[in-house]
Amino acid sequence: MHKDTCQVLIVGAGPVGLVAGLDLAQRGIDVIVLDQRTNFDPLTVRCNHISSRSMEIFRRLGLADEIRAGGFTDGFPHDVSIRLTVTGREMARIKIPSRAGRKAGEQSEDAEWPTLEPPHRMNQIFLEPILQEKAENTQGLRLQFDQEVTHISDLGDRVLAGIRSSKGIKREISSNYLIGCDGGGSLVRKEIGAELEGDAIVQRVQSSFIHAPGLTAMMQAEPCWGILNFNPRRSGTVYSIDNDDRFLVHNYLRPGEAFESVDRDSCLRTILGVPDNFEYQLNRNEDWIGRRLVTNKIAKGCVFLAGDAAHIWVPMGGYGMNAGIADAAGLTWLIDAKLKGWGGNSLLAAYAAERLTITRQVSHFAMETAEAMIKNRAAVPDEIEDDSSEGRAAQNWFGTQTRDLNMPQYCCAGLNYGYYYDNSPIIIYDSMQHPSYSMADYTPSTVPGCRFAHIVMADGTSIYDHLGPGYTLVRTLAGKGAALIEAANQLNIPLAIVDIPTSKLHQHALYLVRPDQHVAWRGQHDPQDSETILQTLCGQLPFQESPIT
């Protein structure tokens, strides 16, 4: 049997696996990314939204400009329209700037983002080819298709993975660490004895990827990215895929309805508001069941889970893919530190302690939104389509209510920036409480565990552009932190140094910031215990209750 070796083996070449592979390879780690698909086939159109946090990660990987240039034309509005049908009357609208609008500083409900990388609306079918091309041209990353993992064995100092091609060719890969990014049916999850727990069925959605030439021209309202359709006959959600009349149509099945019992064509025409002779092409059936499932174990030994392998929930706002990308960014720097020797034996325990908590928080946000939308669809007034004063009053009331209900999921700054790590073994906390947050709202902070409050530097760059691959000492008083710098040198811990002005958000003299932008420690004075602080942050001190054992 042929045998290969690498430092990190990643199972699954979707967006999460590719981001993990790119991040590690750019850090100089030898990576293999496998996928059981026989060739690259980015046909799934499930995710339509790239979060601001993900765009910040893509910026660090050198991909943000290329990704932001993809998808729609510059002036195409990313609005969400609330209508009776796709071609029917508009009741309300959530304003979201186009790509050109963001550059011009256009004001809207979604305009104020504390970053140089606001969210971007672009379908997954355009994102994945960009990531794949980057992976294929990144030194140290081997991207291999038609490779199915059949079993894994964690031997303590390395992981052995059995591989099989569609032609029956078998081989074995030995790696220091293995990351399972292999989706909801993850073999890696099963191999480490982890199970998904939660709500198995929340709703059933009959989704159709269609090409409908001429549909945009039939619409009464201005173009937009998303359309929420409500009428007593059939409600749905429609997302524009491109500027060529391709759409993803979600038909939300009612209680008691099953996929096989609902006429797809009839429901599509009702949601679109088109006659029986209107012609469209069904490109792909994307039916799905909304769930809220989270793994009870995100890591074991040298094996880790990320993305859908670790959590499955209602795919609203792209939370699934974007949460998976955040998983990858929260894991890769830990593995890098361990492989390069400055990360201690306790470092990798942080991944489970941090990401499982956030995963549960995000899943509940998604679930609350899904449940609220189910109730909203059930409350559509019977007279809403009537051409009467009662009908127009119903449209105004229901449109405003639906707009307010959906604003948080489409303008979700809190979900991007509000979450914090409050029980991490590699964060040193102080007496300040973490600010609370909702899906839409958050308070910028420098409390340890929070995302370091963003600032734009004097040269127009983001503070995050200056973070190093390990820890970064951010100073509001130049010349401070000599003891930390000396301790980092003695312990061979990479430490970048950035000076910023004092502000209401940045009142401490010293901050230690991680490469994933979270604050690990802060202080007003040079600490006398600098070596202990850095050893704690790098997992070099014992952690007796490791969540991954």
Same domain, 454 and 520: yes
Confidence of residue 42 (pLDDT cuts 50, 70, 90): low
In-domain check, residue 447: yes
Lowest mean pLDDT among 128-137, 221-230, 406-415, 455-464: 406-415
In-domain check, residue 494: yes
In-domain check, residue 134: yes
Give pLDDT, residue 286: 83
Q: What is the mean pLDDT of residues 155-174?
A: 96
Q: What pTM value is reported for the model? A: 0.95
Give pLDDT, residue 549: 25
In-domain check, residue 388: no
- Cα 318 to chain center, whole Å? 7
Q: 463: exposed, middle or buried (C-beta count within 10 Å: 0-12, 13-18, 19+)? A: buried
The pLDDT of residue 513 is above 80: yes
Same domain, 28 and 134: yes
Lowest mean pLDDT among 39-48, 262-271, 513-522: 39-48
Same domain, 186 and 331: yes
Residue % of the chain over a pLDDT of 70: 97
The pLDDT of residue 200 is above 70: no
Report the SS3 class of residue 336.
helix
C-alpha–C-alpha distance, residues 100 and 75, integer Å: 6
The pLDDT of residue 208 is above 80: yes
Same domain, 425 and 301: no
Confidence of residue 449 (pLDDT cuts 50, 70, 90): very high
Same domain, 40 and 164: yes
Please identify, among 364, 386, 405, the residue that sits at the C-terminal boundary of a domain.
Answer: 364
Tokens 């790590």 belong to 421
115-152 per-position pLDDT tens digit: 999 999 999 999 999 999 999 999 999 999 999 999 99
Nearest C-alpha neighbor of 189 from the set 158, 156, 149: 149
Same domain, 60 and 150: yes
Let me know: does 194 contact 311? Beta carbons within 8 Å.
Answer: no
CATH number of the domain to which 158 belongs = 3.50.50.60
209-266 per-position pLDDT tens digit: 999 999 999 999 999 999 999 999 999 999 999 999 999 999 999 888 989 899 999 9
Strands (E) in 132-195, as ranges, are 141-144, 148-154, 159-164, 170-180
Lowest mean pLDDT among 2-16, 28-42, 466-480, 484-498: 28-42
In-domain check, residue 171: yes
C-alpha–C-alpha distance, residues 125 and 70, integer Å: 10
Q: What is the mean pLDDT of residues 453-463?
A: 97
346-401 per-position pLDDT tens digit: 899 999 999 988 877 777 777 777 788 888 988 999 999 999 999 999 999 999 99
Burial 475-508 (b: 16+ CB within 10 A, else e): bbeeebbebbeebbeebebebbebebeeeeebeb
The pLDDT of residue 548 is above 50: no
Same domain, 489 and 358: no
Please identify, among 301, 334, 364, the residue that sits at the C-terminal boundary of a domain.
Answer: 364
C-alpha–C-alpha distance, residues 267 and 256, integer Å: 16
Same domain, 436 and 320: no
Element (DSSP H or E) covering residue 64: helix 64-68
Residues 6+ away with beta carbon under 8 Å from 433 = 447
Confidence of residue 87 (pLDDT cuts 50, 70, 90): very high
313-332 per-position pLDDT tens digit: 766 666 789 999 999 999 99
Report the SS3 class of residue 246.
strand
Same domain, 306 and 451: no
What rounded mean pLDDT belongs to the chain? 93
Same domain, 59 and 141: yes
Give pLDDT, residue 380: 95
In-domain check, residue 221: no
In-domain check, residue 305: yes
In-domain check, residue 261: no
CATH number of the domain to which 436 belongs = 3.40.30.120
Give pLDDT, residue 362: 74
Residue 470's domain comprises 418-549
C-alpha–C-alpha distance, residues 447 and 272, integer Å: 48
Report the SS3 class of residue 167.
coil
Give pLDDT, residue 317: 60
Please identify, among 324, 348, 364, the residue that sits at the C-terminal boundary of a domain.
Answer: 364
Same domain, 193 and 321: yes
The pLDDT of residue 180 is above 80: yes
Same domain, 64 and 137: yes
Give pLDDT, residue 360: 75
Domain count, the chain: 2
